[in-house]
């Protein structure tokens, strides 16, 4: 009996310790996120647009962006891979930019071999889905969270849309990432992508063209952050683009599920779906995300312009990066002289996205 009491006390102490650890991280996370900020809320109410809700079941980006936005030359959409709704946003934003200002070059986080196949698929008179399927499956080698049925369906929609365009206005995919079998250079991916992008522009004489692309979140940030002085793709291409010609738009998720295949860094559940990788914690935290929750509804996608007149984001760092607990480094600038709109200019807030589904 005495041994059982000792064991019971040990288990009770371990349980209390576990609960204290959970409480500590919960309080720490809540303090970091904060509740809401009145100044931010006042501004955001006037600079947002619901572009999708499940009842209407269609996207509408018209009437939101201003002349400064459309005058830019490069538009970068940043995502945390694995959320299904982002594939729809990618298609709708690219289509919108094509219709409004004729953007036809899609810069992709893939190598030249895969982009060549995608262009072959887009330009084929018959929709050859075996080509598309091979590209989507190959993407597993670099971005396993993105290789999915929704990615496949997005490029099917781009194919159909491309068929409606004139010969001179057809879409071209520019793959700027490192080839899978290229081991000749010991450079970061962002460095390689920027060099490849510059080389393509010069080789094809595209200096006067506009470009759009979907990348992982960190690649589209326009300032470096606190990970060994990491310089994202968007920072690097500033050196050979016009001043203020890049617009960075990022996707944040709430109440959503993410697709997470087996990997060495994070234990994946049996169905490969997780609901703990939203930007309100416990793993990923975006300071100011509760302001966006306050102003949005479930099952919707809302865009926020952080860079308009009298924006508080010109002088604070809310929404300007992601703090990461347990797995990986923070994606946050440590400089007190860098503000949110120096890093990114627009946020898509996605509520209740489903996870991508493996193809």
What six digits make up the tokens of 62? Answer: 């018209």
Q: Beta 105-108 vs 211-216: how paired, if at all?
A: parallel
Q: Would you say residue 16 has pLDDT above 90?
A: no
Q: Would you say residue 239 has pLDDT above 90?
A: no
Choose between 7 and 342: higher pLDDT: 342
What pLDDT does 226 receive? 64
Mean pLDDT across the stretch 39-63? 93
Calpha distance 54→52 (Å, rounded): 7
In terms of DSSP H, where are the helices of 37-138?
A: 38-46, 67-70, 85-101, 112-123, 129-138
What pLDDT does 54 receive? 78
Quick one: pLDDT band at residue 20, thresholds 50, 70, 90?
very low
Q: What is the DSSP letter of 220?
A: G
Distance of CA 89 to the CA centre of its chain: 10
pLDDT tens by residue, 209-228: 999 999 999 999 999 876 56
What six digits make up the tokens of 191? Answer: 């460095």
Q: What is the DSSP letter of 295?
A: T
Mean pLDDT across the stretch 74-84? 97
Tokens 């100044």 locate to 39
What six digits make up the tokens of 253? Answer: 């998720």
- Please name every residue paired with 300 in a beta bridge, in sequence order, or none if there are none: 53
Mean pLDDT across the stretch 285-306? 97
Give the best-scoring range by mean pLDDT among 5-9, 226-230, 236-240. Answer: 236-240
What pLDDT does 19 receive? 46
In 153-170, which positions are buried (b, 16+ CB within 10 angstroms) versus exposed (e)? bbbeebbebbeeeeeeee
What pLDDT does 272 receive? 85
What pLDDT does 265 receive? 61
Q: Would you say residue 24 has pLDDT above 50?
A: no
Calpha distance 214→120 (Å, rounded): 20
Q: Would you say residue 302 has pLDDT above 50?
A: yes
Distance of CA 52 to the CA centre of its chain: 17
């Amino acid at each position: 009996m005495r041994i059982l009491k000792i064991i019971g006390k040990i288990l009770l102490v371990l349980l209390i310790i576990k609960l204290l650890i959970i409480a500590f991280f919960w309080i720490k996370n809540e303090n970091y996120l904060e509740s809401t900020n009145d100044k931010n809320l006042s501004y955001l109410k006037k600079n947002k647009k619901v572009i999708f809700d499940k009842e209407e079941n269609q996207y509408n980006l018209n009437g939101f962006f201003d002349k400064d936005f459309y005058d830019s030359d490069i538009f970068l959409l940043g995502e945390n891979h694995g959320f299904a709704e982002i594939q729809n946003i990618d298609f709708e934003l690219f289509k919108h930019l094509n219709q409004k200002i004729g953007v036809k070059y899609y810069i992709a986080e893939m190598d030249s071999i895969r982009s060549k196949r995608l262009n072959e698929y887009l330009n084929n008179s018959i929709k050859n889905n075996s080509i598309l399927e091979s590209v989507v499956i190959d993407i597993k080698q670099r971005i396993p969270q993105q290789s999915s049925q929704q990615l496949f369906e997005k490029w099917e929609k781009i194919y159909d849309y491309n068929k409606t365009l004139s010969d001179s206005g057809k879409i071209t995919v520019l793959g700027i990432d490192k080839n899978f079998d290229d081991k000749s250079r010991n450079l970061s991916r962002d460095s390689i992508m920027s060099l490849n992008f510059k080389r393509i522009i010069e080789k094809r004489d595209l200096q006067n063209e506009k470009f759009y692309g979907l990348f992982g979140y960190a690649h589209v940030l326009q300032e470096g952050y606190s990970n060994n002085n990491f310089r994202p793709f968007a920072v690097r291409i500033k050196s050979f683009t016009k001043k203020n010609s890049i617009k960075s738009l990022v996707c944040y998720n709430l109440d959503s599920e993410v697709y997470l295949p087996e990997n060495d860094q994070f234990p994946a559940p049996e169905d490969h779906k997780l609901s703990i990788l939203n930007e309100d914690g416990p793993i990923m935290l975006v300071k100011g995300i509760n302001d966006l929750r306050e102003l949005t509804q479930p099952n919707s996608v809302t865009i926020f312009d952080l860079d308009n007149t009298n924006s508080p984001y010109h002088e604070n760092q809310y929404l300007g990066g992601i703090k990461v607990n347990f797995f990986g480094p923070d994606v946050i600038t440590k400089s007190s002289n860098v503000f949110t709109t120096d890093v990114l200019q627009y946020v898509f807030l996605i509520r209740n996205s489903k996870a991508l589904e493996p193809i």
